Amino acid sequence: MAELRLKQTGTIQLFENDNTSKITIASPASLGADRTITLPDANVTLASGTMLATDGSGASLTALNATEITSGTIPDDARLPTVGVDKGGTNLTSFATGDIVYASGTTAISKLAKPGTPAGEVLTFAACASAPSWAAAVSGISWQSVQTSTPFTAVAGNGYPVNTTSSAITINLPAGVVGEQVAVVDYAGTFDTNALTISANGSEKIKGSTDDVEMRTERQAGVLTYVDATQGWVLTSAAPDPGIAPNPFIVATGGTITTDGDYKVHTFTGDGTFTVSNAGGAGGSTTVDYLIVAGGGSGAGTFRAGGGGAGGYRFNYPNPSTGGTSVTATGYPIVVGGGGAQLIGGKNSGSASSGFSISSAGGGGGGPYCAPRNGIAGGSGGGGAGNPAGQGAGGAGNTPPVSPSQGNTGGAGSPSGPIQGGGGGGGHGATGNTGGPGGTDGDGGVGTAITIPGASTTYAGGGGGGAYESGNPGIGGTGGGGAGGYGSGSAPGVAGTVNTGGGGGGAGGGPSDSYGGAGGSGVVVVRYKFQ
Q: What is the mean pLDDT of residues 348-362?
A: 97
> H-helix or E-strand containing 8?
strand 4-8
Between 41 and 166, where is the model more confident?
Answer: 166
The pLDDT of residue 336: 98
Residue 130 lies in a domain: no
Q: With contact defined as beta carbons under 8 Å apart, do 385 and 300 qualify?
A: yes
- Please tell me the least confidently modeled range out of 68-72, 407-411, 503-507: 68-72
For residue 511, count CB atoms less than 10 angstroms from its CB and return exposed for 0-12, middle for 13-18, buried for 19 or more: exposed
- What is the β-pairing status of strands 121-124 and 22-25? unpaired
339 plus 388 within the same structural domain? yes
Q: Say yes or no: 260 and 393 in one domain.
A: yes
Identify the band that residue 41 occupies on the pLDDT scale cut at 50, 70 and 90: very low
The pLDDT of 55-72, averaged and rounded, is: 44
* pLDDT given at position 217: 84
Place 90 in a pLDDT band, splitting at 50, 70 and 90: low
Average pLDDT, the chain: 81
Who contacts 148 (Cβ-Cβ below 8 Å, separation ≥6)? 163, 165, 166, 169
CATH number, domain containing residue 189: 2.60.120.640
Do 152 and 60 belong to one domain?
Answer: no
Which pLDDT score, from 0 to 100, does residue 117 have? 64
Share of the chain above pLDDT 90, in %: 50
Least confident of 181-185, 293-297, 496-500: 181-185
CB atoms within 10 A of CB 261: 8
Query: Do both 505 and 361 map to the same domain?
Result: yes
The answer as to whether 356 is a domain residue is yes
Q: Which of 43, 73, 88 is the endpoint of a domain? A: 88
Give the Cα separation of 324 and 358 in Å (integer): 13
Cβ count near 7 (within 10 Å): 16
pLDDT band with cut points at 50, 70 and 90 for residue 131: confident
d(CA 323, CA 66): 90
Q: What is the pLDDT of residue 379?
A: 98
User: How far apart, in whole angstroms, are the C-alpha atoms of residue 313 and residue 402?
Assistant: 11
Mean pLDDT is highest, among 78-82, 162-166, 217-221, for 162-166
Residue 16 has pLDDT above 60, yes or no: no
Split into its structural domains, the chain has a count of 3
Q: What is the pLDDT of residue 139?
A: 61
Question: Is pLDDT of 274 > 90?
Answer: yes
**Quick check: 47 pLDDT over 90?**
no
Residues 205 and 257 placed together within one structural domain of the fold? no
pLDDT recorded at residue 120: 61
- Does residue 122 form part of some domain? no
Which one of 46, 72, 88 terminates a domain?
A: 88
Same domain, 176 and 276: no
- Rounded CA-CA distance 385/379 in Å is 19
37 with 13: CB under 8 angstroms? no
Q: Are residues 217 and 288 in the same domain?
A: no
Residues 426 and 409: beta-carbon distance below 8 Å: yes
On whether residue 368 sits in a domain, the answer given is yes
Asked if 192 contacts 166 with a C-beta cutoff of 8 angstroms, the reply is no
Interatomic CA distance for residues 457 and 221, integer angstroms:
46
Based on the fold, state whether residues 50 and 193 are members of the same structural domain: no
Give the model's pLDDT for residue 504: 97
As a whole number, mean pLDDT of residues 141-159 equals: 93
**Is residue 86 helix, strand or coil?**
helix
Same domain, residue pair 226 and 316: no
Residue 139 neighbours by CB under 8 Å, 6+ apart: 120, 157
Integer angstrom CA distances of residue 261 from 149, 199, 258, 317: 14, 18, 10, 16
- Kindly report the backbone phi and psi dihedral angles of residue 380, in degrees, each rounded to the nearest multiple of 5, phi listed first: -125, 145
Percent of the chain having pLDDT more than 70? 76
Residue 109 belongs to some domain of the structure: no
Residue 494: band (very low, low, confident or very high) from pLDDT cuts 50, 70, 90: very high
Report if residue 390 sits inside a domain. yes
61-64: strand order across its sheet: 11-15, 4-8, 51-54, 61-64
- pLDDT for 243 equals 63
DSSP 25-83: E-SS-EE-TTS-EE-TTEEEE--TT-EEEE-SSSS-EEEE-TTTS-SS---TT--PPP-
What local confidence, expressed as pLDDT, does residue 92 receive? 67
Tell whether 260 and 281 lie within a shared domain. Answer: yes
- pLDDT at residue 484 is higher than 90: yes
Within this chain, do residues 187 and 330 fall inside the same structural domain, yes or no? Answer: no
Residue 127 lies in a domain: no
From CA 4, how far away is CA 16, in angstroms rounded?
6
Q: What is the pTM (predicted TM-score) of this model?
A: 0.59
Q: Determine which of 11-25, 192-206, 250-264, 420-434 has the lowest per-residue pLDDT on average.
A: 11-25
Asked if residue 501 lies in contact with residue 512, where contact means CB atoms within 8 angstroms, the answer is: no
Question: What range does the domain containing 65 cover?
Answer: 1-88
Strands 523-529 and 4-8: unpaired
Residue 193's pLDDT band (cuts 50, 70, 90):
confident
- Closest by CA position to 528, among listed 379, 298, 325, 275: 325
In this predicted structure, what is the pLDDT of residue 413? Answer: 92
Domain boundary (66, 88, 110) is at: 88
Radius of gyration of the chain (CA): 46
Residue that wins the pLDDT comparison between 326 and 61: 326
- Check pLDDT > 70 for residue 97: yes
Residues 379-434 have pLDDT tens digits of 999 999 988 888 899 999 999 999 999 999 999 998 876 677 899 999 999 999 99
Judged by DSSP in three states, 85 sits in helix
167 and 256 part of one domain: no
What is the pLDDT at residue 294? 98
Q: Where are the alpha helices (DSSP H) in 191-290?
A: none
Torsion region of 56: left, alpha or beta (phi above 0 gives left; psi -120 to 50 gives alpha): left
Residue 367, in any domain of the structure: yes
